[in-house]
A and B are shown apart, each in its own frame.
Chain A
Amino acid sequence: MSATGLFLCLFLVGHLAGNLQLFLTGEEAALQFNAYAKFMTTNPAVKILSYLTYFSILFHAIDGIMLVASNKAARPQKYAYSNPSANSKWNSRNMGVLGTIILVFIAVHMSNFWYVMHFGSLPVDSAGNKDLYTVVISFFTDDSMGLIFVLFYVFAMAAMCFHLLHGFKSAFSSFGLRTAKTKVIFEKIGYAFSIVVSIAFAAIPVYIYLTH
């Protein structure tokens, strides 16, 4: 869980860096983003990374499901009365729920853009690249569904934030790197990473909805 989880954190950084281009507006921004999208879907090195990412997502999800199943089996008889908030945070106990929300989001998100880019018939921009920029903008500014998608994306990013708040620092414990000294460092980096990355991702659809 920890190895694939941390790899997916790296993916988030790359994905966010690219998507921040959506904050740009105008003809030039569209051309730049579409050229970037073409590069990301055709470059061989990026392709290897993307297959690694697909694998990590699947492995992380399947491993997670197996972990939940074996951990549930370790306590066949539940307590009649339990007070878990006295000793642990809600998100740390519900990583499976949060992960499921994220997995559903990934499926929806990929069908929204990844599938359209790879298999859909898209108009091309003036440089001859598939015009993914316009697809993204019109998706979030759609009269009937735009707001619903914006809210769903923000909700999913909130779930991801809580998932990362627990997952990031915990990965280092699983790797055996947590000590009395390093624990605070991993926690602080993890909190900063989770909040900054999630808010930045969530800001993209909100910004598009409000400005276009």
Chain B
Amino acid sequence: MNLTLKVWRQKDANSKGEIVAYDVKDISEEMSFLEMLDVLNEKLVAEGDEPIAFDHDCREGICGACSLYINGEPHGPMNRTTTCQLHMRSFKDGETVFIEPWRAKAFPVIKDLMVDRSAFDRIIQAGGYVSVNTSGNTIDANAIPIPKEDADEAFDAATCIGCGACVAACKNASAMLFVSAKVSQLSLLPQGKVEAEERVKNMVEQMDHEGFGACTVTGACEAECPKGISLENISRMNREYLKATVSPGK
């Protein structure tokens, strides 16, 4: 199949970028989207041009490295799918495909389609952990009985791969889905409950500090999340935040 790609090219963080059109020919439907970009990059390198920079790592849909805003949607048109797991059969021969980086003040473009997502790392550093004693007499986590329902909910929240599609999809560039998934996966379990109040306050404070927008419950994040993280996590985070600020210690 043949496609016209309209790709965001930006030399570096300080340069002004622009959309550049590329024609790609003889693309196999079995290729993944990133393999299609690999083909284009090989051609660009052979012609002496700068290849298109984009993030990728595992190419198995589990690491959260790949991004790309494809035809107006993060990770492209397929639901519950990362860009690396998106295949060219999802596109029509002759189609024009727009490829842009995540757009958010908190995710500045480094180059072309790569953005700096270290804001997420700083939010995790602010409280997305449990302070477990590892001095040698650590209790086996399985020794603590946990209701199946809580374990399942915590696990569902923990499937967040931190790719940032929620921020990219949200019209407010809000990171609430990501932060709430991280808050939820810990606060639902006994090991995480101990530090729940400090955690939610610190993580929300860091999130605001990074310049992400606020949640207006449009549901775009949930619809575009490759792991299907639900909006209920955002409500849980709001609940925990209210609890931690209005009646701390209860």
Taking Cβ atoms with an 8 Å cutoff, the residues of A that contact B are: 67, 70-71, 73-84, 86-89, 92-93, 95, 166, 169-170, 172-180, 183
Query: Is A179 in contact with B238, judged by CB distance below 8 angstroms?
Result: no
* Contact, CB under 8 Å: A67 / B238: no
Measured CA separation A166–B231 after assembly (Å)? 14
Q: Which residue of A lies closest to B104 (CB)?
A: A75
Query: Cα distance A188–B130 when bound, in Å?
Result: 38
Report yes or no: A176 in contact with B240, Cβ–Cβ below 8 A.
yes
* 18 additional contacts (CB under 8 A) given A71-B171, A81-B6, A175-B238: A67-B216, A71-B173, A73-B213, A74-B106, A74-B212, A75-B104, A80-B6, A83-B72, A84-B72, A86-B73, A87-B169, A92-B216, A92-B218, A173-B234, A173-B238, A174-B235, A179-B232, A180-B232
B33 contacts A by Cβ under 8 Å: no
Distance from A178 Cβ to chain B, minimum over Cβ atoms (Å): 4
Q: Does B172 sit within 8 A of A, measured CB to CB?
A: yes
Would you call the interface of chain B mostly helix, strand, loop, or mixed?
Answer: mixed
Q: Which residues of B contact A79 (CB under 8 A)?
A: 69, 72, 100, 103
Q: A87-B223, A183-B232 are in contact. Are A76 and B19 (CB under 8 A)?
A: no
Closest-CB distance, B46 to chain A (whole angstroms): 27
Within 8 A of A (CB), among B66-115: 69, 71-73, 77, 98, 100, 103-106
The complex places the Cα of A175 from the Cα of B215 at a distance, in Å, of 12
Number of A-B contacts defined by CB within 8 Å: 118
> Please, which residue of chain B has its CB at the minimum distance from the CB of A74?
B213
| A87–B106 touching, CB < 8 Å | no
**A176:B238 contact, CB within 8 angstroms:** yes
Docked-complex contact B239 and A177, CB < 8 angstroms? yes
Chain A residues with CB under 8 A of B174: 71, 74
12 A-B residue pairings within 8 Å (CB atoms): A79-B103, A81-B98, A84-B171, A84-B220, A87-B218, A92-B216, A166-B217, A176-B237, A176-B241, A178-B232, A179-B235, A179-B236
Select the residue from B6, B72, B211, B212 with max chain A CB neighbours within 10 A.
Answer: B72
B204-248 interface mask toward A, CB cutoff 8 Å, 1 = contact, 0 = none? 000000011111111110011000001110111111111100000
